[in-house]
């Protein structure tokens, strides 16, 4: 019996071991299948505002950014990374993957009072990631329009939103102004106003919200897209005092404050990366750090040694600070000098998320993940920085001079002078005592038998009585003077207000007349330009036959100025896709030219410099005949960069030299700055690989390169969308809606919009006919709303 029990127990143990092995094998197979499935990475995009090339530690050791330096050194530093010169175009190209000529945002930024936003028909990066199963969150600055609710971030693909809608917000009070007197509260959560957050520094509050999102996402098991768009280091220059102390040796106050704000950004990035590691998301994440434009030297920023500043198309305004940090990178700890643009993030991140970028038609960006991760050549060989037809350069004149019909028309500018009211000098009336004047006060004679007082007491009494009388008379005179002055000031105010109203009406009429005339003349100019293009096409087609039968081989030497050295330039009607070429011998899209080389129709090498007269063919057309060089435009093809029109303030500004902020931020971003060298029809050409500081203009020495790049501008201009830059809408004033910036235009269907408006008009007419106290009701309604706004 004992032997049988031992045998049974042994068999049971063997069966248990076999069962556990089968279970473990089944679990391991399921785990292997899960591991073999492609895990989509978490995407963390950190966007900084107005950080310049010299405002980070690995470019300037005086700026203390240990976290950013460590992440950049362990990842891939992007040293040929380009953005747009101002906020709205960079953010629009990041989220849409298209150039701003294809979104209608070619001119300036979207101001808070403008009824403008992203085009509704274009899909955005968060919308594509939502369809791929991502949780999308935006924390921080939006600045892409909010006139309608359909323009808000939650309607453009983000699941949640916490931040500001306008371009510049106070870091503690969250007040935003669009000019003097037009201010409102700007802190929103999803589609409502987030009140009662005053007193907290915005950078710290936004990082805290980002950490909460990472903490709550730990248990969801879905991929994450978090866009942390910090307001720093945009004006106003405000930071906690503890961050200013390490930069106490800086003499420039604005530079010191901006350096402290950069340190707050460094601490914010450290907290975000710590949260990623704490919640187990770091190993499967991609961290992208980028600035939206160059720095503003007038507010403490620095782009040294690059040329230009924010708002310009020099390298200081468009070459951005950026790096990629991720454990998923195959080649880390290196510096990439491959050409990358901010539009490339759309297809790159969509491909990383497992999607197909080709499903979004009209993309101008390229998938550059292999360039960043593996070090392969960049598929991008061209960058269209911008074509702004509303910004035309003309000779510097008075600040209020406005041309009647645009540049090139030859008409004299109209001087718009603001009303200058002379203050009426009020004559001050001074009361002076006349020493010889007899006083009307007489001392009564006292009784003879009454004992006389001494002379001193009598004099004191007379002096006191005289002073009393004088005080009474002076008080009467002062009261009369005050009444007369108050009456005069009231009359003057009324007359001045009337004058202001009359002058405003006259100015508005003048502006409306000028706009009509400009629109008419612009239409005429467009017709004339179209005729010119047609004539040019005919002449080019005729010249093609001549150039084919002549010697089309390039000379070994370099032609002189004004001569043509290449084959037939591409026609402006062709429309090749991104990375392709419309002339002879197009390069492959993946091929990238090296330094000093060219991806088009083989121009001469930059080192060869023959004398003039080496080319026997016809001379190329002048730049003005091919392209209106007064239009502000900038393009980069290979290593060559071309600028036309007025590219902006083009000085090399060393750090810590300029004084503090000269004016408000809206004056700096709205004003049209004309450089001293900007003339009508001026063209600049630079070889960026050999001259990254843009000190040597080669437009006169290399006219053949200028012609080819102008042809590329003509090619891009054919696909451009009309500029959308509407005037300010007075209905957007925050005083009309609880003192906060909110959408002010109701979303209506285009089919039912006209019918609803007619019905509303009919209802208003009926109410006006029935109501007898409408004026009183309207008056008390306005009074109540104003009292609520002023918290009375």
Q: Which helix (H) or strand (E) holds 608?
A: none
Residue with tokens 């990629």: 324
* Pairing status of strand 188-189 against strand 76-78: unpaired
Q: Which 3 state secondary structure label does DSSP give 76?
A: strand
Residues 6+ apart with CB under 8 A from 587: 381, 581, 593, 599, 600
Residues 6+ apart with CB under 8 A from 445: none
Task: Tell me if 227 sits within 8 A of 291, measured CB to CB.
Answer: no
Which residues pair with residue 334 across a beta bridge?
76
Residue 143 annotated as catalytic: yes
Which residues pair with residue 635 across a beta bridge?
384, 642
| DSSP one-letter string for 501-533 | HHHHHHHHHHHHHHHHHHHHHHHHHHHHHHHHH
Long-range contacts of 571-577 (CB under 8 A, 24+ apart): 571/537, 571/540, 572/533, 572/537, 572/711, 572/714, 572/715, 572/718, 573/537, 573/718, 574/715, 575/715, 575/718, 575/719, 576/715
Q: Which 3 state secondary structure label does DSSP give 77?
A: strand
| DSSP one-letter string for 457-481 | HHHHHHHHHHHHHHHHHHHHHHHHH
Q: Select from 612, 591, 611, 613 the least CA-distant residue to 600.
A: 591
Strand runs labelled E in 76-164: 76-78, 81-82, 135-141, 160-164
Instruction: Answer whether the bond into residue 233 is a cis peptide, omega within 30°.
Output: yes
* Pairing status of strand 285-291 against strand 322-325: antiparallel
Q: What are phi and psi of 352, to 5 degrees?
A: -65, -35
Residue with tokens 């175009």: 89
Q: How many CB atoms lie within 10 A of CB 788?
A: 11
Task: Tell me if 590 sits within 8 A of 536, measured CB to CB.
Answer: no
Task: Tell me if 648 sits within 8 A of 298, measured CB to CB.
Answer: no
Q: Select from 124, 126, 122, 151 the least CA-distant residue to 137.
A: 126
Task: Tell me if 323 sits within 8 A of 75, measured CB to CB.
Answer: yes
End-to-end CA distance of the chain: 100
Task: Tell me if 636 sits within 8 A of 684, measured CB to CB.
Answer: no
Task: Tell me if 313 sits within 8 A of 343, measured CB to CB.
Answer: no
Task: Tell me if 80 sits within 8 A of 336, measured CB to CB.
Answer: yes
Task: Tell me if 650 sits within 8 A of 307, measured CB to CB.
Answer: yes
| DSSP one-letter string for 292-339 | SS---GGGT---TTSS--TTSSSHHHHBPPEEEE-TT-SS-SEEE-S-
> Which position among 87, 147, 151, 177 bears the catalytic label?
87
> Which position among 42, 59, 143, 217 bears the catalytic label?
143
Counting Cα atoms < 13 Å in the Cβ hemisphere of 773 gives: 4
Pairwise CA distance, residues 489 & 155, whole Å: 53
Task: Tell me if 295 sits within 8 A of 667, measured CB to CB.
Answer: no
Pairwise CA distance, residues 139 & 154, whole Å: 12
Residue 177 annotated as catalytic: no
Residue with tokens 């004003």: 671
Residues 6+ apart with CB under 8 A from 780: none
Cite the active site residues.
87, 143
């Amino acid at each position: 019996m004992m032997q049988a029990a031992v045998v049974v127990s042994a068999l049971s143990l063997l069966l248990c071991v076999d069962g556990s092995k089968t279970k473990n094998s089944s679990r391991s197979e399921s785990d292997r299948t899960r591991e073999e499935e492609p895990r989509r990475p978490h995407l963390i995009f950190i966007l900084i505002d107005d950080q310049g090339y010299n405002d980070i530690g690995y470019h300037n050791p005086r700026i203390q950014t240990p976290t950013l330096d460590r992440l950049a050194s362990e990842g891939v530093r992007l040293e040929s990374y380009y953005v747009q010169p101002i906020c709205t175009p960079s953010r629009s190209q990041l989220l849409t993957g298209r150039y701003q000529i294809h979104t209608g945002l070619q001119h300036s930024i979207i101001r808070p009072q403008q009824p403008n936003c992203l085009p509704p028909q274009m899909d955005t990066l968060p919308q594509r990631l939502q369809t791929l199963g991502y949780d999308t969150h935006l924390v921080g600055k939006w600045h892409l329009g909010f006139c309608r609710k359909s323009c808000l971030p939650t309607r453009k693909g983000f699941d949640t939103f916490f931040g500001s809608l306008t371009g510049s917000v106070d870091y503690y009070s969250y007040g935003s102004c669009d000019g003097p007197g037009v201010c409102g509260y700007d802190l929103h959560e999803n589609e409502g106003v987030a009140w009662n957050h005053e007193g907290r520094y915005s950078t710290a509050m936004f990082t805290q919200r980002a950490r909460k999102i990472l903490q709550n996402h730990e248990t969801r098991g879905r991929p994450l897209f978090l866009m942390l768009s910090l307001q720093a280091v945009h004006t106003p220059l405000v930071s906690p005092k503890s961050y200013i102390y390490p930069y106490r040796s800086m003499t420039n106050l604005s530079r010191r404050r901006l350096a402290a704000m950069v340190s707050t950004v460094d601490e914010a990035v450290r907290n975000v990366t710590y949260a990623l590691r704490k919640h187990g998301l770091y190993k499967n994440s991609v961290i992208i750090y980028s600035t939206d434009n160059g720095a503003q030297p007038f507010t403490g920023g620095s782009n040294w040694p690059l040329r230009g500043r924010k708002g310009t198309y020099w390298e200081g305004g468009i070459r951005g600070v950026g790096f990629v940090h991720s454990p998923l990178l195959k080649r880390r700890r290196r510096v990439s000098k491959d050409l990358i643009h901010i539009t490339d993030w759309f297809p790159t991140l969509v491909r990383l998320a497992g999607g197909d970028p080709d499903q979004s038609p009209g993309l101008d960006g390229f998938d550059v993940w292999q360039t960043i991760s593996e070090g392969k050549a960049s598929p991008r060989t061209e960058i269209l920085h911008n074509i702004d037809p509303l910004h035309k350069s003309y000779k510097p004149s008075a600040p209020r001079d406005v041309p009647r019909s645009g540049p090139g028309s030859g008409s004299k500018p109209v001087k718009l002078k603001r009303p200058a009211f002379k203050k009426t000098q009020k004559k001050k009336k001074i009361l002076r005592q006349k020493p010889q004047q007899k006083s009307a006060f007489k001392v009564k004679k006292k009784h003879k038998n009454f004992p006389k007082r001494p002379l001193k007491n009598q004099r004191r009494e007379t002096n006191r009585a005289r002073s009393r009388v004088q005080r009474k008379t002076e008080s009467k005179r002062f009261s009369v003077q005050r009444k007369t002055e108050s009456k005069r000031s009231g009359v003057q105010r009324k007359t001045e207000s009337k004058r202001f109203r009359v002058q405003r009406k006259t100015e508005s009429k003048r502006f409306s007349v000028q706009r009509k005339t400009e629109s008419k003349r612009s239409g005429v100019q467009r017709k004339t330009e179209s005729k010119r293009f047609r004539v040019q096409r005919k002449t080019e087609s005729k010249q093609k036959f001549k150039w084919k039968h002549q010697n089309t081989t390039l000379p070994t030497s370099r032609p002189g100025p004004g001569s043509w050295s290449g084959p037939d330039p591409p026609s402006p009607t062709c429309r090749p896709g991104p990375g392709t070429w419309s002339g002879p011998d197009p390069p492959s899209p993946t091929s990238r030219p090296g330094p000093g080389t060219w991806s088009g129709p083989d121009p001469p090498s930059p080192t060869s410099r023959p004398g003039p007269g080496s080319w026997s063919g016809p001379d190329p057309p002048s730049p003005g005949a091919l392209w209106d060089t007064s239009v502000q435009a900038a393009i980069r093809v290979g290593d060559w960069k071309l600028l036309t029109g007025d590219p902006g303030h083009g000085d090399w500004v060393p750090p810590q030299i300029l004084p503090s902020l000269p004016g408000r931020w809206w004056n700096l971003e709205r004003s049209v700055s004309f450089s001293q060298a900007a003339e009508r029809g001026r063209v600049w050409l630079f070889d960026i690989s050999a001259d990254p500081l843009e000190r040597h203009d080669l437009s006169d020495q290399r006219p053949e390169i200028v012609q080819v790049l102008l042809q590329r501008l003509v090619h891009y201009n054919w696909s451009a969308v009309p500029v959308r830059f509407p005037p300010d809408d007075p209905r957007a004033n925050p005083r009309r809606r609880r003192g906060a910036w909110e959408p002010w235009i109701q979303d209506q269907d285009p089919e039912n919009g006209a019918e609803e408006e007619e019905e509303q008009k009919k209802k208003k007419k009926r109410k006006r006919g029935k109501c007898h106290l409408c004026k009183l009701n309207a008056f008390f309604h306005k009074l109540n709303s104003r009292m609520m706004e002023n918290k009375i």
